[in-house]
Structures are given as C-alpha cells and as structure tokens.
Amino acid sequence: MRISVDKKSIITGSVIIIFLVIIIRLFFVQIIDKEYRINAENNALKYETIYPARGLILDRNEKILVNNVISYDINVTPYDVKEFDTVAFCNIFSLDTAFVKDKFREYKLYRTKIGYQTLTFLKKVSFEEYSRFIENAHLFPGFAASPKILRVYPYNSGGNLLGYTSEVDADFLKDHPDYKMGEYMGKTGMESSFESILKGEKGYTIYLRDAHNKIHENYANGEYDKEAVPGTNVITTIDAELQAYGESLMQNKVGSVVAIEPSTGDILAMISSPGINVSQLANISKYYAELSSDPYKPMFNRAVMSAQPPGSVFKLANGLIGLQEGVLKPQNRYPCHQGFVVGNLRVGCHSHASPLDLYEGIAQSCNAYFCYVFRNIIENSKYTTSQEGFEKWLDYVHDFGFGTKLGTDIGSELAGNLPSVEGYDKLHGKGRWHALNIISLSIGQGELGCTPLQLANFVATIANRGYYYTPHIQKDTEECRIDDRFKERHYTKIDKQHYDEVIKGMRLAVLSGTARIANIPGIEVCGKTGTAQNPHGDDHAVFACFAPMDNPQIAIIAYIENAGFGATWAAPIASLMVEKYLKGEISPERQYIEDNMMSANLLGKVKVK
C-alpha cells in the first residue's frame, strides 16, 4: 500500500512535534525545575523534620492557660546503626538491655519496610538523660536526639475544656497525609477545635548522603531547607480566675456550670465535674485507662454532651410564650392548692400563698400556675386543634435555641431533644391527645432534654431581652478572627416588653422567693430556681440567673445532678460565681455560703454503674 506525499508530510511533522515536546520537557525537568531534581534524588537526600512550637492558649485577659515546654525524644535510623556498647547506652537512660535487643530484633524483622527511615526509639527522656546522651552521641552511630514541644498548664483548671494532644494513629493518617507517625495533634477540647490554628507548619533540613549512605553536608548549602512556622496563639473567651473558682466550688459534685457574657456570646466559664485534672493532660496515655473506666466519667463534658430535663427554669419559656400568644397577662392570677388538679390528673407543688400573678408565679416557682399557662397556650381558641397549638409552642421553643445544636466552636455539642406531634401521635393516637396529656412540659419535664449550654444561652437571651449570640470560646482578635456567624444576633419571636415582665419575676425570686440565697448586696441578680425530676435517683438541682438586671454582664446556669432543690446547691454556686466575677471577692456576710459549697461532698448521692 502506497502512502501519499501529503500523508507522509503529516506523519513526519507529527513525529517532529512529539520529539520536540519530549526534548523541551526533559530540558525543563533536568535543567530548569530544580524542585523536581530534589524529588528525583530523594534516595540521596535525608530530610530532618523541624517541629514548630504549638500556639499557646490564653484566657480573655491573656493569662496563659496552655503553655509549651521542650521535651526530648531519642530517634534511631536502624540502617545507620553500627555495633555499640549496649550497656553504656542503657546506663544513660536507665534501660534494661533486653529492651534494646527486642527493639533491634523488631527492626531486623521489618528492615525492608523500614528502609532508611528514622524512628522514635525513646519518648520524653529527661533533660539530664538528654545531656548525657549528647556528650556521648559519637559512641552511638545511627542515634540522635530530637527536641519536641509538650504542653504544660499554669492553671489547675479547665481540663475538659482545654482538651489534650495525642500521637496520631494509622486511621487518622489515612485522611491526613500532612501528618506523620509519631507526631501529635489536638484530640479533644480546644486543642482539637483549634488544631488548624495551633499546629503551625513543619520545617525541614535537607542533608546529602554519599554512596555509602553517610551524611556529608547540607544539600545545596541549605537553599531548599524550610524553617518551621510556629502555631498561632488562641485567645479564648474564658476567664481563668472564674473557671478555677467555679471548679473549686464544684469539687465532689456531679454536674456542670456554664457562664456567658450576654452582650457578646463569650463563654466565660464552662465547668464539667468531675473533670480531668490538667496534670493528667500532659501525659494522657498514662491516665487514659483510669479516666475512661472512672464511673463518674471525667472525660465526659456534661456542659455540652448531657441533655437533661430543664426543670422549673423552663417555666420562664412558657411564661414568655403565653405573653406573646396573648393567653397570659402579668396580672392574671391562678390558684394553687399544693398542685394542679383536673379530674384524676395531679401535678404537685410546694406550699405557698395562692392565688398568684405572673411575678409571684415565677418567684415562688409555682407548678400549678404554669400548668394553667401551658394549657392555655396549647388549647388557644385561635388554633383549630391542640396539635396546631403545640406546633406553634414548639416553634417558639426552637427559637430559644432548644432542640438543635447552637453551632458553637466547642466539639461534641449535642442538640438535646424536643417532643414532636408525630411522637405524641404514636404514643396517644393521632389527634387523640391534648394539653393535659403533655402537661409535664409546663414545668420542664417530660420529653424535654436540654444541655447546660443551651440553658445558659436561654438565660443570656432573657438578659438581652430577646436575642442571643451563638456562644463561642474563641475571642475575636486582629491576629485570629472569629467567624461572622458568632457576631450575628439571633432574635426570638417574643416582643421585648414581655421579657421585661418575666425579668421582674426573676428579680422578685431573688428578693423574696425561692432564690433568696442568691441575693448579693449591691448587685441586682435576677434568677430562677429549678428542680428537675430524675427517675434514677434524687432530683437534679438547677439555677439560672443573670446580673446586673440592667446592662447584664454575666448569665449563668448551674446544673448539679442528684442534689435536690435548686436553692440548696445550684443557686449558691451560681451566685458565688456571679459575685466573684463582678466584685472580685465574696462579701463577708456570704462567706459561710462559700465555705459550705467548698466543703460539701455530694458524690454519694449519685448512682454510678
């Protein structure tokens, strides 16, 4: 078969073009692209990683919560190891010779896989051991000391909040190729939430090997070396002194305390008790088994991971909804004969004056009063069915931030739980249930599950008269900006004037009601006690408050499990923290309250498995 002249020309031209492309590419790779040359020559190069200093974690006043200290690892490159005095080596580090022999048997077994790699031989050796090794390093070819940064904690508080770092594992490395085995990352708490900010950027020094794999000099006089970039410091919203004080009050108690600055959404303190002692964080692998098997679950951050019934604090929500829906006026009075009674239904209440208006209903935490209010909300005549009234109620409750994740920058946040029409239809039959079937919702019981963070946010919403900022733990700074979502106001559907009415009742509760123990001389505290029923033991004690009444600076929730009445334990602890934050000290007339809280041990009340 003959090929025409035109076809020959096309084929010849194509071959020439392809040949030219290959020549140009080879010239670029071999002459121009030095980075490629470095990669191609990797077998002749040794990269020594330089680890950056991890960013510090500071409180809102820039007091250091998490600092760095230098630690030393001893690394080994098995390929480079020659015969050495094992006894002398073991004497430096107080090792058994059997340990060294076992290690090298393992290296020999996996020598093909290890190749020229450098491995960690000993972790966190003391400075004295490091110094002795440096003096004698020439006797141990193939071994080298590597400084690393470890975390230290100036304040003995905030263990659960700060979190810990730990060595990366194989599963993590699959999705994070920028990390290497032996490196550390934030595993929980702030260390995890702010890992991308704190970790910094690794550097390296490149050394040139000869044909015998001996290191001779820096490659290209260090032209391609890379300096490590330290991590960025994170300034948090936490007040270190308030956090430490709150933890001392919560010693030997199970529960949590969350304090928020209403005007910003800054989390001032977040306490989970019992918690992790910061002395355990620096060496978490040593204590992990002990902490994870502790029946009081110190690794469990109750503030964001424990959804419990809110108890009587939730009466404030029902009061606000009733006012907005027009089924309640502050002057409306309802009777209470130690409870709410309709037919065979009875919701008990403690002894107090009757009848009550809204202000006294809040101040005395009257169950009957809020049963009437809730029934009027659900069976509102402007709605065709109780189910329609309930859906409207549910819409308001969602608006307060319940039943959903708030979107904070703290990991492991739970959404809590709210009931639904579908759930009640399944339980009672479709369309066959009414307000009396779900009356427990009137007093914060039943199918409600709220985290302490959600309750603290609710109190901040009341303090702001109708809006909240998403609670967050990172402070907004020039060096480290927070997301715009933390600066956005979330308004509820409740008019401002209705909040003013509820706040009057909260102030009355502290002056002459169930929260009198929370009264602080010189500070207008507005509060609400709560007792959350618990089918598994003693009731939970709850207290919510904010202060001052005008221009509030702190909103706080204390949730003490199995502690009984809110006024007995939760109110004293929350009010002491308010006083400490606003005044800097506890007044002499309230010193006995502080002494009682510090010395109390309620662990025996808690049923643990």
Cβ–Cβ under 8 Å, residues 498 and 323 = yes
H/E stretch holding 67 reads strand 64-76
Which residues form the domain of 58?
47-235
Residue 38 has pLDDT above 70, yes or no: no
CATH of residue 89: 3.90.1310.10
Q: pLDDT at position 155, please?
A: 86
What's the CA gap between 89 and 404, in Å, rounded? 58
Distance CA 474, CA 462 (A): 23
87-93: average pLDDT: 95
pLDDT at 40 (0 to 100)? 41
Indicate the range of 347-356, 448-457, 568-577 predicted with least confidence.
347-356
Q: How far apart are CA 473 and CA 455, in angstroms?
A: 16
Q: Which residues contact 308 (CB under 8 A, 6 or more apart)?
A: 449, 450, 451, 452, 532, 540, 559, 561
Residue 400 lies in a domain: no
Domain contains 585: no
- Cα-based torsion angle of the residue sequence 211, 214, 218, 221 in order, rounded to the nearest 10 degrees: -40
In the predicted model, what is the mean pLDDT of residues 152-157?
A: 87
Tokens linked to 529: 């006690």
DSSP string, 178-228: TS-TT-EEE-SHHHHHTHHHHS-B-EEEEEEE-TTS-EEEEGGGGTT-B--
Instruction: Check residue 605 and give its pLDDT.
Output: 81
User: What DSSP string describes 505-558?
Assistant: HHHHHHHHSTTGGG-BTTB--EEEEEEE--TTSSPEEEEEEEESSSS--EEEEE
Q: Identify the weakest region by mean pLDDT among 370-379, 478-487, 505-514.
A: 478-487
DSSP, res 493: S
Q: Picking from 227-231, 330-334, 563-567, which range would have the lowest pLDDT averaged per residue? A: 563-567
Mean pLDDT value across residues 218-236: 87
Environment class of 533 (CB within 10 Å of its CB; exposed 0-12, middle 13-18, buried 19+): middle
Which pLDDT value is given to residue 539?
A: 86
Higher-confidence residue: 184 or 6? Answer: 184
Residue 274 scores a pLDDT above 80: yes
Q: How many domains does the chain have?
A: 1
Q: Could you tell me which residue, 45 or 287, shows the higher pLDDT?
A: 287
Average pLDDT over residues 221-237: 90
This prediction has a pTM of: 0.85
Averaged pLDDT, 245-270: 97
Task: State the pLDDT at residue 5.
Answer: 54
pLDDT for 214: 63
Higher pLDDT, 465 or 123: 465
User: What is the signed CA dihedral for 507, 511, 515, 516, rounded to 10 degrees?
Assistant: 160
More confident residue, 310 or 13: 310
In a domain, 42, yes or no: no
Q: pLDDT at position 412, please?
A: 86
Of the candidate ranges 250-259, 323-332, 336-345, the one whose mean pLDDT is the lowest: 336-345
Q: To the nearest whole percent, how much of the chain has pLDDT over 90?
A: 65
Question: Quick one: average pLDDT of 261-285?
Answer: 91
Predicted confidence at residue 431, as pLDDT, reads 87
Q: Is residue 207 part of a domain?
A: yes
**In this predicted structure, what is the pLDDT of residue 520?**
97
Residues 6+ apart with CB under 8 A from 437: 424, 428
In this structure, the chain runs to a length of: 609
pLDDT tens, 127-150? 899 999 999 988 999 999 988 778
| Average pLDDT for the chain | 89
pLDDT exceeds cutoff 90 at 288: no
Q: Which residues contact 380 (CB under 8 A, 6 or more apart)?
A: 325, 327, 389, 392
Specify whether the CB–CB gap between 304 and 415 falls below 8 A.
no
Q: So what's the pLDDT on residue 547?
A: 98
Does the pLDDT of residue 604 top 90, yes or no?
no
Query: Residue 443: which of 519, 511, 346, 329 has the closest Cα?
Result: 346
Q: Is the pLDDT of residue 37 over 80?
A: no
Residue 97 lies in a domain: yes
Task: Identify the residue with better confidence: 392 or 221.
Answer: 392
The predicted-structure confidence for 543-553, as pLDDT tens digits, reads as follows 999 999 999 99
**Residue 392: inside a domain, yes or no?**
no
Answer whether residue 519 shows pLDDT above 80.
yes
Report yes or no on 494 lying in a domain: no
Tokens of 384: 């065709």
In a domain, 210, yes or no: yes
CA–CA dist 273, 288 (Å, integer): 17
Choose the weakest-confidence range: 6-20, 33-47, 316-330, 555-569. 33-47
Q: Do the beta carbons of residue 318 and residue 374 sit within 8 Å? A: yes
Confidence of residue 281 (pLDDT cuts 50, 70, 90): confident
Interstrand relation of 215-218 and 203-209 (parallel, antiparallel or unpaired): antiparallel
Which of the four pLDDT bands, split at 50, 70 and 90, describes residue 7?
A: low
Q: What is the mean pLDDT of residues 515-534?
A: 94
pLDDT tens digits for range 347-393: 999 989 999 999 999 999 999 999 999 999 999 999 999 999 999 99
pLDDT in the model for residue 387 = 95
